[in-house]
């Protein structure tokens, strides 16, 4: 298109970028610009300069709690409420930005970062209950078999009691290891909420990470790095401070709610709004910490008890048949039960103790790591974060 | 130290309904978005309302955002600016001094990520330098239009010049600034 034909449109390009054109005229100018490379370039230049001016203006920090206000407004927005309440799985096409999740990246971190949907929220409790039932079952069977062995003097019961004791301790070790890693993951998620799975995104196959050269767009950085996320001491300190502040402010917020009737509109007050926001933030940290910590402590405590009780019961059970055998040597043939397929009681005790020590040794990298803060070699990269397991 | 997450990735997360991504995105740009709105409406509470609406609009449109067509921050600021202009044109626009507008350009910003801060500060310095090279009348016109969100007609009224002259000044200023910024970019300043 000749330049002369464009003079009027170029004059109106300023109105267009400043938003001054009425709808009908705007449509005509846009239609022209879309078909005219020269005018399109000029409008792009004007827009780019406007953008530069906007980006250079002095920022004005909004009130405290603004972010929470936006999220709350999003929940009230029908379109966004539907989006955020749906199963927050990664849908590449919905993103529309040319990125997909890396193959093999589990969807759990996405839900962990976004807050699990209500239906999913019960799953951890169900898992804990199932583990607890299994542990109780194994321990109960061990005790039952030990009692039977003590009562009957049967080596079969004694052997079974030892086998179940070993199984109990092994299962306990596995649960402790898994729970500990999950707890660390939860805490790390809380400490580094701004990070995580995003950097595991890679360019979609068949799509270039670079901009379309014909479009003349600014270069887009490719997201290829899968760097481990680290949590520094400052983040940890913030987390701990926020956690304790949340608890400390709980009675204050309760008092505010009692005096005011409710907390609606409390954010309008700079002081009260800040107190409530701090308490809410701390409470969210508390819930995260409690969910992760309580599971670890409960399972570890129960497990430690079982680890102490079960081998002792097994040892006691093995001691009884041996006592029976010693008390009635004449009644037994030389090749009787005492000389059967199992070794004497002292050997049983030693065997079960060795096994217990072996399993505890297998657990020790996790507990040692918790104490020292050094990552376990077996831990996945994104959970091996210094300071992330200090709970 | 953690690396800041890319804006495009955060927008992609928002499109997938991730609230944590939205929180990060809002936290990162809240100051700039509210600042752009504030310089247009000159009312802090109103600017915050506009800022909130800006983020909601961005979230709703996050699924259609194409990073190849421009960066997320510019896109967001243009939403804020347009929303503020819509508001101010319904209300009575408050008077503003063109000289005062220069002070609204940031010497520094309060972005959370150090890298972003450096880039934004460098950009602000370049923009101020480009503005300084403009004749006074063009600088006032472009600041009134671009920063204070005034229409060309309003610029004409404020400056006491015909509409055509106001448009010419704004356009000339924007094009000269564009040239200056391109020169700066080529120099690698």
* Boundary-marking domain end, from A55, A74, A91: A55
Q: Which chain B residues contact residue A193 at CB under 8 A? A: 20, 23-24
Q: Does A125 touch chain B (CB under 8 A)?
A: no
Q: pLDDT class for B109, splitting at 50, 70, 90?
A: very low
Query: Is the domain of B126 the same as that of B108?
Result: yes
Query: Is the domain of A240 the same as that of A325?
Result: yes
**Highest mean predicted confidence (pLDDT) among A103-112, A120-129, A167-176:** A167-176
The reply to whether residue B17 touches residue A79, judged by beta carbons under 8 angstroms, is: no
* Boundary-marking domain end, from B94, B124, B151: B94
Q: pLDDT class for B158, splitting at 50, 70, 90?
A: confident
Among candidate residues A386, A382, A388, the one with its CA nearest the CA of residue A228: A382
**Would strands A201-203 and A99-101 be described as parallel, antiparallel, or unpaired?**
antiparallel
Task: Please say if the pLDDT value at position A378 is more than 50.
Answer: no
Q: What is the DSSP code string of B76-139?
A: HHHHHHHHHHHHHHHSPPPP--HHHHHTTB-SS---SSHHHHHHHHHHHHHHHHHHHTS-HHHH
Query: Is the domain of B89 the same as that of B103?
Result: no
Task: Please say if the pLDDT value at position A192 is more than 60.
Answer: no
CB B144 within 8 A of CB B96: yes
The answer to the question of residue A334 being in a domain is: yes
Task: Please say if the pLDDT value at position B90 is more than 50.
Answer: yes
Determine the structural domain holding residue A259 and report its residue range: 125-202+228-383
Query: Is the domain of B56 the same as that of B71?
Result: yes
Task: Please say if the pLDDT value at position A156 is more than 50.
Answer: yes
Q: Does A97 touch chain B (CB under 8 A)?
A: yes
Lowest mean pLDDT among A58-62, B105-109, B178-182: B105-109
The reply to whether residue B64 touches residue A18, judged by beta carbons under 8 angstroms, is: no
* Boundary-marking domain end, from A31, A55, A79: A55
Query: Is the domain of B15 the same as that of B39?
Result: yes
Count structural domains, chain A: 2
Query: Is the domain of B89 the same as that of B64?
Result: yes
Query: Is the domain of B118 the same as that of B59?
Result: no
Q: How far apart are CA A3 and CA A10, in angstroms?
A: 10
How distant is the Cα of B64 from the closest Cα of chain A, in angstroms? 6
Task: Please say if the pLDDT value at position A175 is more than 90.
Answer: no
The reply to whether residue A50 touches residue B17, judged by beta carbons under 8 angstroms, is: no
Among candidate residues B183, B98, B176, B103, the one with its CA nearest the CA of residue B143: B98
The H-or-E segment that residue A203 falls in is: strand A201-203
Q: pLDDT class for A50, splitting at 50, 70, 90?
A: confident
The answer to the question of residue A210 being in a domain is: no
Determine the structural domain holding residue B76 and report its residue range: 1-94
The reply to whether residue B181 touches residue A49, judged by beta carbons under 8 angstroms, is: yes
Determine the residue among B174, B176, B177 to mutate to test chain A binding: the one whose Cβ has the most chain A Cβ atoms within 10 Å. B174
Per-residue pLDDT averaged across A215-232, rounded? Answer: 38
* Boundary-marking domain end, from B94, B124, B146: B94
Task: Please say if the pLDDT value at position A31 is more than 60.
Answer: yes
Residue pairs spanning A and B at CB distance below 8 A: 260
The answer to the question of residue A94 being in a domain is: no
Comparison of pLDDT for A97 and B98, the residue scoring more: B98
* ipTM associated with this complex: 0.78
Task: Please say if the pLDDT value at position A48 is more than 70.
Answer: yes
CB A52 within 8 A of CB B127: yes
Query: Is the domain of B77 the same as that of B149?
Result: no
Q: Cβ neighbours of residue A325 under 8 Å, at least 6 residues apart?
A: A153, A332, A336, A337, A338
Q: Which chain B residues contact residue A225 at CB under 8 A? A: 3
Residue B148's pLDDT is 81
Comparison of pLDDT for B129 and A297, the residue scoring more: B129
Q: What is the mean pLDDT of chain A?
A: 61
Query: Is the domain of B102 the same as that of B184?
Result: yes
The answer to the question of residue A64 being in a domain is: no
Q: Which chain B residues contact residue A217 at CB under 8 A? A: 68-70
**The domain that contains B38 carries what CATH number?**
1.10.1740.10
Task: Please say if the pLDDT value at position A235 is more than 60.
Answer: yes
Lowest mean pLDDT among A107-116, A118-127, A167-176, A259-268: A107-116
Query: Is the domain of A49 the same as that of A130?
Result: no
Compare CB distances from B67 to A14, A67, A97 and report the shortest one's residue.
A97
- A325-370 pLDDT tens trace: 555 444 444 443 333 333 333 333 444 444 434 433 443 333 333 3
**The domain that contains A18 carries what CATH number?**
1.10.10
Q: Does A353 touch chain B (CB under 8 A)?
A: no
Residue B5's pLDDT is 74
Compare CB distances from A229 to B2, B12, B39 and report the shortest one's residue.
B2
- B129-147 pLDDT tens trace: 888 888 988 988 888 888 8
Residue A168's pLDDT is 86
The answer to the question of residue A91 being in a domain is: no
Residue A374's pLDDT is 39
Q: Which chain A residues contact residue B51 at CB under 8 A? A: 62, 66
Query: Is the domain of B87 the same as that of B104?
Result: no
Count structural domains, chain B: 2
Query: Is the domain of B124 the same as that of B55?
Result: no
Task: Please say if the pLDDT value at position A63 is more than 60.
Answer: yes
**Chain A residue with the nearest C-alpha to that of B69:** A217
CB A382 within 8 A of CB A284: no
Lowest mean pLDDT among A62-66, A164-168, A227-231: A227-231
Share of chain A above pLDDT 90, in %: 0
Query: Is the domain of B8 the same as that of B53?
Result: yes
Per-residue pLDDT averaged across A98-118, rounded? Answer: 32
Q: pLDDT class for B55, splitting at 50, 70, 90?
A: very high
Query: Is the domain of B75 the same as that of B100?
Result: no
Residue B99's pLDDT is 57
* Boundary-marking domain end, from A12, A29, A55: A55
Q: Which chain A residues contact residue B109 at CB under 8 A? A: 58-59
């Amino acid at each position: 298109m000749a330049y002369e034909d464009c003079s009027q449109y170029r004059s109106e390009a300023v109105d267009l970028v400043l938003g001054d054109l009425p709808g009908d005229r705007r449509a005509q100018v846009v239609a022209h610009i879309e078909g005219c490379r020269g005018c399109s370039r000029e409008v792009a230049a004007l827009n780019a300069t406007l953008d530069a001016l906007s980006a250079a203006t002095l920022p004005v920090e909004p009130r405290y709690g603004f972010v929470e206000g936006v999220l709350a407004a999003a929940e009230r927005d029908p379109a966004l409420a539907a989006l955020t309440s749906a199963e927050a799985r990664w849908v590449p096409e919905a993103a529309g930005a040319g990125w997909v999740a890396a193959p093999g990246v589990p969807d759990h971190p996405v839900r962990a970062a976004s807050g699990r949907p209500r239906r999913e929220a019960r799953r951890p409790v169900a898992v804990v209950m199932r583990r607890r039932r299994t542990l109780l079952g194994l321990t109960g069977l061990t005790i039952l078999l030990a009692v039977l062995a003590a009562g009957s003097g049967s080596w079969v019961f004694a052997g079974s009691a030892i086998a179940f004791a070993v199984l109990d301790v092994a299962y306990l070790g596995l649960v402790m290891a898994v729970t500990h890693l999950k707890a660390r993951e939860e805490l790390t998620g809380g400490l580094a909420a701004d990070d995580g799975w995003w950097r595991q995104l890679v360019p979609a196959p068949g799509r270039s990470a670079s901009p379309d050269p014909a479009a003349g767009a600014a270069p887009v950085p490719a997201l290829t790095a899968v760097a481990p996320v680290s949590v520094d001491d400052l983040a940890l300190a913030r987390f701990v401070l926020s956690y304790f502040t949340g608890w400390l402010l709980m009675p204050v917020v309760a008092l505010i709610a009692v005096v005011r009737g409710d907390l609606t509109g409390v954010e309008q007050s700079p002081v009260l709004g800040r107190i409530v926001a701090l308490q809410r933030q701390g409470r969210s940290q508390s819930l995260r910490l409690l969910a992760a910590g309580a599971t670890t402590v409960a399972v570890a405590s129960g497990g430690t008890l079982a680890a102490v009780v079960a081998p002792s019961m097994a040892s006691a059970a093995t001691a009884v048949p041996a006592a029976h055998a010693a008390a009635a040597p004449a009644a037994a043939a030389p090749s009787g039960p005492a000389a059967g397929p199992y070794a004497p009681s002292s050997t049983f005790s030693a065997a079960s103790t060795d096994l217990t020590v072996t399993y505890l040794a297998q657990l020790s990298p996790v507990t040692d790591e918790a104490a020292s803060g050094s990552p376990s070699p077996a831990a996945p990269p994104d959970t091996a974060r210094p300071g992330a397991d200090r709970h | 130290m953690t690396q800041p997450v890319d804006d495009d990735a955060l927008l992609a997360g928002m499109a997938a309904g991730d609230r944590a991504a939205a929180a990060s995105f809002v936290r990162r740009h809240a100051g700039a978005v509210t600042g752009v709105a504030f310089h247009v409406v000159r009312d802090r509470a109103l600017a915050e309302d506009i800022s909130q609406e800006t983020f909601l609009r961005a979230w709703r449109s996050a699924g259609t955002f194409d990073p190849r067509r421009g960066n997320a921050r510019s896109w967001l600021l243009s939403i804020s600016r347009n929303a503020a202009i819509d508001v101010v044109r319904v209300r009575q626009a408050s008077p503003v001094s063109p000289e005062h507008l220069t002070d609204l350009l940031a010497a520094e910003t309060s972005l959370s990520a150090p890298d972003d801060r450096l880039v934004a500060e460098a950009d602000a310095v370049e923009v101020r330098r480009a503005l300084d090279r403009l004749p006074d009348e063009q600088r006032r016109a472009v600041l009134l239009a671009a920063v204070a969100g005034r229409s060309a007609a309003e610029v004409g009224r404020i400056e006491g010049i015909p509409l055509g002259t106001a448009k010419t000044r704004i356009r000339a200023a924007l094009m000269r600034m564009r040239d200056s910024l391109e020169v700066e970019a080529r120099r690698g300043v």
